[in-house]
Amino acid sequence: MKNWKKILLGLVVIALAAACYGYYLYNKQPADVRKLPLDYELTATVLLEEFNKDETAANLKYLEKVIAVKGKVSEVKLEPSTGQATVILETGDPVASVTCSFYDDEVDAVKKLNKGEAVIIKGKCTGKLMDVILNKCSVEK
Amino acid sequence: MKKIILVISTMILIHTSFAQNRYFTKAGAVSFKAGTALEEIDGINKSATCIFDGTSGQIEFALLVKGFEFKRSLMQEHFNENYLESNKFPKSTFKGKISNIDKVNFQKDGNYIVNVKGILEIHGIKNEIETTGSFKVSGETVLSTAEFTIVLEDYKIDIPGVVKDKISKTANIKVTCSNTVLK
């Protein structure tokens, strides 16, 4: 009888722990990319070249990865209606660049950037459309 | 010689007049809501491309499915892995036409209601959709917005029984793109 009680108690504890873990997972917020370690560090030109050369291989390498991209600002776009900030980096390629969308609280840092300025932007690579796209970005330097 | 100059100058003229009629952005916002009273589910993509031609009314959108941002990481995981299968279908597109583009005066600031019809591709499935949107012209910028609802089943997005009460059978999609003249 005592054994039976012990087993039951054990099961209840396990169930509770599982429920807590489930609740924790359910409420877990996406990681803040700014706090994550870098997977890659490279220039906008090299990043685009790799995608142009072999998109499948580049996707395998860079998708969902945290990267720091170095490049020159070709355009800063601030959208008052949505509060969005976007920076487009030069790559030397006239038709494709690297597009970065930022965290909402990075907008002030983006506002300080000027066209032609050299920057390092950290973000997560989501793939290539026309440009290679990074989201959840922040201005590193 | 004169002929050549004439040909070249008309070509330049045609080219510039054509180019000035195209509006473009790489920073469009596309968001969706597919929650129920039990659960709030929404995602936003801030890097959609949009291009439209102010003369013909042709309009196109494209986005990367992996670019959607969520409030909870599990939602993002399920969205990419189970529902939209973003590894298999990385892009989502819309190609269509604005039927009343002639009603929009790009030279005059203001709000114009546009009717758009075209093919929406999500999860590798194409369906025709029709909706109304608005073009807010201010100088060389056109803020295009639209809102419409799709049925998830139409795009073969299967919601498992366990979460049926939490995920809506439809998704409300909102598009906000600030397009500028393509030079």
pLDDT value, residue A36: 94
Higher pLDDT, B151 or A1: B151
User: What value does the CA radius of gyration of chain A take, rounded to a whole number of Å?
Assistant: 22
pLDDT value, residue B160: 82
How far is residue B145 from each of residues B18, B133, B135, B137, B177, measured CA to CA in Å?
23, 6, 7, 12, 6
Dihedrals phi, psi of B54, to nearest 5 degrees: -70, -15
In chain B, the largest separation of any two C-alpha atoms, in whole Å, equals 76
Q: What is the pLDDT of residues A27-83, one digit of tens each?
A: 888 889 999 999 999 999 999 999 999 999 999 999 999 999 999 999 999 988 788
Eight-state DSSP code of residue A63: T
Residue A46: its H or E element: helix A44-53
The full DSSP string for B20-38 is TTEEEEEEEEEEEEEEBTT
Distance from CA of A41 to the nearest CA of B (A): 20
Cβ contact B29–A136 (<8 Å): no
Which of A31, A88, A133 lies nearest to residue B64, judging by beta carbons? A133
Q: What is the C-alpha to C-alpha distance for residues A17 and A23, in angstroms, rounded to an integer?
A: 10
Handedness of CA A17, A21, A27, A31 (dihedral sign): positive
Cβ contact A86–B47 (<8 Å): yes
Q: How confident is the model at residue B165 (pLDDT cuts 50, 70, 90)?
A: confident
Prediction ipTM score: 0.85
Assess whether pLDDT exceeds 60 at residue B16.
Answer: no
Tokens at A76, concatenated: 């800063």
pLDDT value, residue B4: 65
Residue B45: closest C-alpha in chain A: A135
CB B70 within 8 A of CB B79: yes
Tokens at B49, concatenated: 């491309």
Q: What is the C-alpha to C-alpha distance for residues A102 and A95, in angstroms, rounded to an integer?
A: 22
Higher pLDDT, A98 or B167: A98
Q: Which distant-in-sequence residues (6+ apart) come within 8 Å of A62 by Cβ?
A: A40, A47, A50, A51, A125, A132
Q: What is the C-alpha to C-alpha distance for residues B118 and A87, in angstroms, rounded to an integer?
A: 30
pLDDT value, residue A79: 86
Distance from CA of B73 to the nearest CA of A (A): 4
Residue B17: its H or E element: helix B2-19
Eight-state DSSP code of residue A68: E
Over chain B, what is the mean pLDDT? Answer: 89
Residue A96: closest C-alpha in chain B: B26
Cβ contact B26–A86 (<8 Å): yes
Which of A64, A131, A135 lies nearest to residue B69, judging by beta carbons? A135
What are the DSSP E strand ranges found in A36-93? 40-43, 66-79, 84-89
Q: What is the C-alpha to C-alpha distance for residues A24 and B43, in angstroms, rounded to an integer?
A: 20
CB A42 within 8 A of CB A15: no
Dihedrals phi, psi of B169, to nearest 5 degrees: -80, -10
Work out the average pLDDT over B28-50.
92
Distance from CA of B177 to the nearest CA of A (A): 9
pLDDT value, residue B174: 96
Q: Which of A77, A81, A129 to mutate to test the interface with B (most CBs of B within 10 A)?
A: A129
Around A127, how many Cα atoms within 13 Å sit in the side-chain half-sphere? 21
Q: Which of A77, A82, A98, A103 to mutate to test the interface with B (most CBs of B within 10 A)?
A: A82
Q: What is the pLDDT of residues A70-97, one digit of tens each?
A: 999 999 999 887 889 999 999 999 889 9
Residue A125: closest C-alpha in chain B: B67
Q: What is the pLDDT of residues B54-93, one digit of tens each?
A: 999 999 999 999 999 999 998 999 999 999 999 999 999 9
pLDDT value, residue A120: 96
pLDDT value, residue B2: 64
pLDDT value, residue A80: 82
pTM score of the predicted model: 0.86
Eight-state DSSP code of residue B100: T
Cβ contact B178–A31 (<8 Å): no
Handedness of CA B1, B6, B7, B11 (dihedral sign): positive
pLDDT value, residue B13: 54
Q: What is the C-alpha to C-alpha distance for residues B132 and B115, in angstroms, rounded to an integer?
A: 4
Least confident residue range of A84-93, A116-125, B9-18, B164-173: B9-18
Q: What is the C-alpha to C-alpha distance for residues A32 and B69, in angstroms, rounded to an integer?
A: 12
Residue A27: closest C-alpha in chain B: B72
